[in-house]
Amino acid sequence: MLERFLVQASTYASDIDGLINLVAVLAGFWFLLAEAMFFWLIWKFRARPGKKSQYLTGKEKHVSRWITIPHALVLVCDVFIIIGSVRVWYNVKQVLPEADSTIRIIGQQWAWTFQHPGADNELDTADDIFTVEDLHVEVEKTYHFKLESRDVLHDFSVPVFRLKQDALPGRSITGWFRPTMTGEFGIQCAEICGIGHGIMAGRIHIEDANTHAAWISSASVATTP
Amino acid sequence: MADTAVDVHHDHHGHDDHHHGPTGILKYIWSTDHKIIAMQYLFTGMLMAIIGGYMAYVFRMQLAFPGISVPGFGQVSPGEYNALITNHGSIMIFWVAMPVLIAAFGNYLIPLMIGADDMVFPRINRLSFQVFFLSVIVLMASLFVEGGGFGGAWTSYPPLSAVAEYNQTNLGSSLWLIAVALEFVAFLLGGINFITTLMNSRAPGMKAYDIPLVAWMIVIASILFMLSVGPLVAGAVMLLFDQTLGTGFYDPARGGDPILWQHLFWFFGHPEVYVVLLPAIGITVDVIATFARKKIFGYKMVLYTAVATGVLSFFVWAHHQFIAGIDPRMANVFTVTTLLISVPIAEMCFVIIATLYGGSIRLTTPMLWALAFMAEFLIGGVTGIFLGASGADIYFHDTYFVLAHFHYTFFPIAIIGSFCAFTYWFPKMFGRMMNDTLGKIHFWGTIIPFNFIFIPLFVLGMGGQHRRIYNFQHFPELATPEMFQLRQIATISLLIMIAFQLVFFYNMITSWIRGEKAGKNPWQANTLEWTTESPPPHGNWPLDRMPVVYRGPYEYGHPDREEDYWPQDEPA
């Protein structure tokens, strides 16, 4: 459903979209059934002169099963959604696949700062590349990010990755992503962070190996920490 | 039970206050009569709804037409935008939904429905409203102090809310917090009264399962509120200390933790959803039973599912914090509890739908509101499943999908539920019928635009539009013409909906003045409030004719009777 709005640019984007579709099908089924039943009953039992309403207590077996059977089925649907949800969640948030590279993302009022590992592919070394608002990554490489904040809560959100993670002052939160297509996409701050929340935008540049290497060499000359 | 009801009547001095106390307008301000206090809450809530609606109008105009000078406000700055959304949310939940659904209808209905002459603590009741009114004044003042109103969202997450340097509304944020805390005090006082009154002052013969469900629901909601609000009040005091005394409860640099606030807030915040939902369900159930001329399809089932929902609601709070930096393993636990809550809620909905079966449904204005509540609330319910499933929430968190979801729950609760109750009990409150044609015009003029406001917002949310952004021009993916069209559809629908509210106010005022006289029981309903005069006198019934209860509240369509209703107080 979501791929109609946004491309899937990470390995887990399609998993998350698949889960959303699963919920849409199961919840949608119950929703349509309940609404259809509801409007049909309103129509069927509209007041007509001389026709008195029936006296039903809900205890009669033949009527109460209209409640108890759907009740059990809803529970079964819940189990499917829970299993699907936990699987996706585990994959995205609980396990960390081996990283090809590590970056640091720092939120502050009201900009994103990105610390790239530079030519040696090691973070916190002299050749790290610092940028503001523009994150450069290579396609088909697994990245770990260390997410930090200097002041208030922020939230690193990349809609095309289907990724969101709050940034907290005083903590470094590690997460991962693996881009699957090249291009330039939006980064948002998805947690209100003051009057500049609406300008806290970034761009992610997903490049192929050559372009990325070229960017590293050009940026290494230009930036100092 | 009989003794208690009579004793209360003789002991308290409600009558004396009335006859020898203040006169004129003061009679209405210093009254301890539960009906007058209900009106005070009702009209204060209505006024706050107008203010909250005005705020929505201003920021929706800014979102649809960024940078324009909004008529009646002017240009919206980012700081003002944040203050508007923050206070819109706070007002609609704390100063509209709670005072109208719980305090106004709780105060009005509980004594009348259980056959009591007043609340058991009339003076505490008066104090409750006075504290509430103070909270309104403090909140309104917070909008006009130096730096403007608080703009850290109604969730008020620290460090943004705790540090003046970050939020730039030093005084506004403290006043906002004080107003919220005062509002909690008011509702604790009111809640004590509801619980005690329901337990002690029922008419002779009224057993636990003879109590109308709306009275039960308001009392269950009051119990939930009492149990959940404590941690938040403690949290609010710590936040106030962080703001004003420079403590560091939420400051990680000094050993605090910002996530602590989120736990305390949502431990209250999620039960709070059910605190306002249950009274609205109770109202809907009562109105549907009356106009479908049907016994509730499982009175006990509604009651037990309400209690189950209430209990479960204490174990789901962290679904608001899936991606907030909590231990990711915890998310799995809260996904399970959150999805389990769909079981009692679905069952409650099934029971209400099944009540229509075999009925003789009269589509009066209150019935239309009650049916609309069900139809719309279902949308809010099923969209919640996307957000309760942790994996899907990674994407949906803090998008407009969330916003549209909870407006599909809160709008039915606070607006549809209130209109349902208001139109249903208006004849009792004011002794006159409301105009049904105008009522229906107002109904359709509210329901249709409502859907056109929030369905586009679901779509925008799926497209990745995130919340609390005052202008989307900095996000190229969100600044496309199609997205602006959707925002404009939502805003124009809001303008139409607001315009139709004039019909309601016109109808209310003209019906109040010269509506058709209602009589005691215009809807041919069973519950006790319909056995007294409209409007009921002080003390509700003449002393020597206090009602006695012989049966449950929903005996409609009984085969042994010619009429299709059977009042609770009619001897067998």
Residues A29 and A81 both lie in one domain: yes
A70, A74, A164: residue with CB nearest B397: A164
The packing angle between helices B299-312 and B258-292, to 10°, is: 170
Residue A58 has a pLDDT of 72
Is B2-545 assigned to CATH 1.20.210.10? yes
Considering only the C-alpha atoms of chain A, give the largest distance between any 2 of them, rounded to a whole number of Å.
91
Q: Determine the 3-state secondary structure of B536 from DSSP.
A: coil
pLDDT exceeds cutoff 60 at B20: no
A56 closest CB neighbour out of B166, B295, B472: B295
pTM: 0.93
Q: Are residues A111 and A149 in the same domain?
A: yes
Do A54 and B470 lie within an 8 Å CB cutoff? no
For residue range B47-75, what is the model confidence (pLDDT) as tens digits?
999 999 999 999 999 999 999 999 999 99
Average pLDDT over residues B470-492: 93
Residue in B with minimal Cα distance to A84:
B391
| Confidence (pLDDT) at B7 | 41
Mean pLDDT of chain A: 92
| Mean pLDDT calculated for residue range B335-355 | 92
B543 burial (CB, 10 Å; 0-12 / 13-18 / 19+) is exposed
Tell me the per-residue pLDDT of B274-316, one tens digit each, with 9 for 90 and over: 999 999 999 999 999 999 999 998 899 999 999 999 999 999 9
B525 is written with which tokens? Answer: 């309903």
B495 touches chain A (CB under 8 A): no
Task: Write the Ramachandran bin of A140: left for phi over 0, alpha for psi from -120 to 50, otherwise beta.
Answer: left
Q: Are residues A120 and A181 both part of a single domain? A: yes
* Cβ-nearest to A38 among B152, B258, B375: B375
Domain final position from A45, A78, A94? A94
What is the pLDDT, as a whole number, of residue A99?
Answer: 94
Range A104-107 contact pairs with CB under 8 angstroms and sequence separation of 24 or more: A104/A145, A104/A146, A104/A148, A105/A135, A105/A145, A105/A146, A105/A147, A105/A148, A105/A156, A105/A167, A106/A148, A106/A149, A106/A150, A106/A167, A107/A147, A107/A148, A107/A149, A107/A150, A107/A154, A107/A156, A107/A167, A107/A189, A107/A193, A107/A200
Predicted confidence band at A62 (pLDDT cuts at 50, 70, 90)?
confident
Q: Is the dihedral of CA B198, B204, B208, B209 positive or negative?
A: negative
User: Which chain A residue is nearest to residue B382, measuring alpha carbons?
Assistant: A27
Residues in chain A within 8 Å Cβ distance of B329: 94
The minimal CB distance from A74 to the residues B343, B379, B468 is found for B343
Do A197 and A109 have their domain in common? yes
Percent of chain B with pLDDT over 90: 89
Q: Is B297 in contact with A201 (Cβ distance < 8 A)?
A: no
**Per-residue pLDDT tens digits for A165-187:** 999 999 999 999 999 999 999 99
B340 interaction partners in chain A (CB closer than 8 Å):
78
- What distances in angstroms separate CA B547 from CA B6, B210, B293, B321, B558, one per listed residue? 11, 14, 23, 50, 22
Q: How far is A148 from chain B (nearest CA, A)?
A: 11
| Average pLDDT over all residues of chain B | 92
Q: Which of A67, A82, A165 sits opposite B298 (nearest CB)?
A: A67
Question: Cα separations (Å) of B91 from A210, B44, B54, B98, B413?
Answer: 55, 11, 11, 10, 14
Are B357 and A45 an interchain contact pair (Cβ–Cβ within 8 Å)?
yes
Do residues A47 and A126 share a domain?
A: no
DSSP assignment, residue B435? P
Please tell me which of the candidates A34, A93, A185 has its beta carbon nearest to residue B353. Answer: A34
Q: What is the CATH number of the domain that holds A60?
A: 1.10.287
The span from the CA of A207 to the CA of B103, in Å, is: 59
Residue A149: domain span: 101-222
Percent of chain A with pLDDT over 70: 98
Report the domain count for chain A.
2
Cis peptide before A169 (omega within 30 of 0): no
Rg (CA), chain A: 25
Is there a contact between B552 and B209 (Cβ–Cβ < 8 Å)? yes
CB contact under 8 A, A169 and B252: yes
- Do B463 and A92 count as a contact with CB atoms less than 8 A apart? no
Pairing status of strand A173-177 against strand A143-149: antiparallel
**Quick one: how many helices (H) and strands (E) in chain B?**
20, 0
Which residues on chain A are in Cβ contact (under 8 Å) with B557?
A: 52-55
Which residue among A29, A63, A94 closes a domain?
A94
pLDDT value of position B400: 96
What's the average model confidence in pLDDT over A64-85? 89
Tell me: do A116 and A199 sit in the same domain. Answer: yes
State whether A51 and A130 are in the same domain. Answer: no
Q: Which residue of A has its CA nearest to B253?
A: A170
> Is the model's pLDDT at B15 over the cut of 50?
no
Asked if A125 and A27 sit in the same domain, the reply is no
- Are the beta carbons of A71 and B347 separated by less than 8 Å? yes
Name the burial class of residue B329, with classes exposed (0-12), middle (13-18) and buried (19+) by CB atoms within 10 angstroms of its CB.
exposed
Percentage of chain B exceeding pLDDT 70: 96
Residues 6+ apart with CB under 8 A from B410: B92, B93, B97, B276, B380
- Which residues in chain B touch residue A112, judged by CB atoms under 8 angstroms apart? none
Q: Best of B157, B166, B293, B350 to disrupt the A interface by mutation (most A CBs within 10 Å)? A: B350
Please state the rounded mean pLDDT for residues B96-124: 95
User: How many angstroms separate the CA atoms of B449 and B447, rounded?
Assistant: 6
Least reliable range by pLDDT among B330-344, B437-451, B488-502: B330-344
Give domain limits for chain B. 2-545
Q: pLDDT category, B25, cuts 50, 70, 90?
A: confident
- Residues of chain A positioned with their CB less than 8 A from the CB of B390: 85-86, 88-89, 93
**Do A9 and A82 belong together in one domain?**
yes
| Cα–Cα nearest to B335, from B320, B324, B319 | B319
Same-domain status, A107 and A187: yes
- Interface touch A58/B301, C-beta < 8 Å: yes
Q: A68, A94, A120 — which closes off a domain?
A: A94
B17 band by pLDDT with thresholds 50, 70 and 90: very low
Distance from CA of B73 to the nearest CA of A (A): 19
Mean pLDDT of all residues in B421-437: 96
B463 vs A87: CB contact, 8 Å cut-off?
Answer: no
- Picking from B76, B249, B260, B395 by the largest number of A CB atoms within 10 A of its own CB, the best residue to mutate is B395
Residues A120 and A210 in one domain: yes
Question: What average pLDDT score do residues B85-112 get?
Answer: 96
Band of pLDDT at residue A224, cut at 50, 70 and 90: low
**Between residues A19 and B11, the one the model is more confident about:** A19
- Tally A–B CB contacts below 8 A: 289
pLDDT at position A222, please? 61
Residues A140 and A202 in one domain: yes
Interchain pair A89, B478: CB under 8 A: no
> A15–B297: do the CB atoms touch at under 8 Å?
no
Closest CB to A35 among B324, B378, B397: B378
Interface mutation vs chain A, best among B161, B360, B478, B554, most A CBs within 10 Å: B360
Residue among A15, A81, A151 minimizing CB distance to B339: A81
pLDDT, mean of residues B319-335: 93
Q: Answer whether residue A101 shows pLDDT above 50.
A: yes
